[in-house]
A = this chain, B = another copy of it.
């Protein structure tokens, strides 16, 4: 049984100004989780956590998510070996989003496409608005076919 008590949400002041942990999940039971590299600060991925994933992340110190594509609890790195060790976990003002700072094992990649970060393309802005995306990582850190084999690609159209 989990040792973590999520508190009921009783007031705006409690949620914003107190040290009580009263997380709020969305209508689908999920909360967005921003995962960043602890050393560089770069954002690696935006994942989703249900109640169980959040508890396991906190208790084990390794990032767990809920896979929306596969609709299952997902211990990041269980297939690829690229486990994310949590250096720090934070909650936001209204306690409906998580920010993890992690160290990633192995090749240090966190993206199933093979790049270090899932955010490997820049969107041109301002005067360049409307132009094509610009790749910011020039090579993959691993071969997804070798690592994942025939596991279905999680990207949905």
Chain A interface SS verdict (over half):
loop
Q: Which of A24, A61, A92 has the most CB of B within 10 A?
A: A92
CB under 8 Å from chain B, chain A span 111-127: 111-113, 115, 118-126
A99 to B120 CA separation, bound complex (whole angstroms): 10
Contact check, A90 vs B129: say whether CB atoms are below 8 A apart.
no
Count of identical protomers in the assembly: 2
CB under 8 Å from chain B, chain A span 68-100: 86, 88-94, 97-99
Number of A interface residues, CB 8 Å? 65
Contact check, B36 vs A43: say whether CB atoms are below 8 A apart.
yes
A4 to B92 CA separation, bound complex (whole angstroms): 32
A143 surroundings in chain B (CB, below 8 A)? none
A52 surroundings in chain B (CB, below 8 A)? none
Which residue from B12, B61, B154 sits with its C-beta under 8 Å from A125?
B61
Contact check, B93 vs A129: say whether CB atoms are below 8 A apart.
no
Q: A17 → chain B, closest Cβ, in Å?
A: 7
Q: Is A40 an interface residue (CB 8 A)?
A: yes
A57 surroundings in chain B (CB, below 8 A)? 125
A41 to B41 CA separation, bound complex (whole angstroms): 5
A126 surroundings in chain B (CB, below 8 A)? 59-61
Q: Is A139 an interface residue (CB 8 A)?
A: no
